[in-house]
Amino acid sequence: MDNEANKPWGKLIATGTVTAMLYTLLFAFEKDVLAIFTRTDGLYPLLPIAAAFAFSFSHGAFTGYFWDALGVRARPVVQERSDGADAL
């Protein structure tokens, strides 16, 4: 049963705030960010990858808590296959 006390409201707000800050920074400085992130010298090509990881960790956690808070959670049972490979 979904218990209101078990819902991750604090984590949802924390990750949501960090995600909102990341997106705000990206679009507030849109032109500068684009100019820097498309540089091809030195280690600049790693910037889009670093940004993608940062956004995914923060926003990925936020979306996970979001569905959790809404009560959309996984069913605990995973289906099994019927052949004899279990012995591996």
> Using the rule CB under 8 A, is 21 a contact of other proteins?
no
Q: Give the 3-state secondary structure of 19-55.
A: HHHHHHHHHHCHHHHHHHHCCCCCCCCHHHHHHHHHH
Q: Count of CB atoms within 10 A of residue 47's CB?
A: 14
Choice between 9 and 53, CB closer to other proteins: 53
Choice between 9 and 70, CB closer to other proteins: 70
Residues that bind other proteins (CB under 8 A): 23, 26-27, 30, 33-34, 37-40, 45-49, 51-53, 55-56, 59-60, 62-64, 66-67, 72-83, 85-86, 88
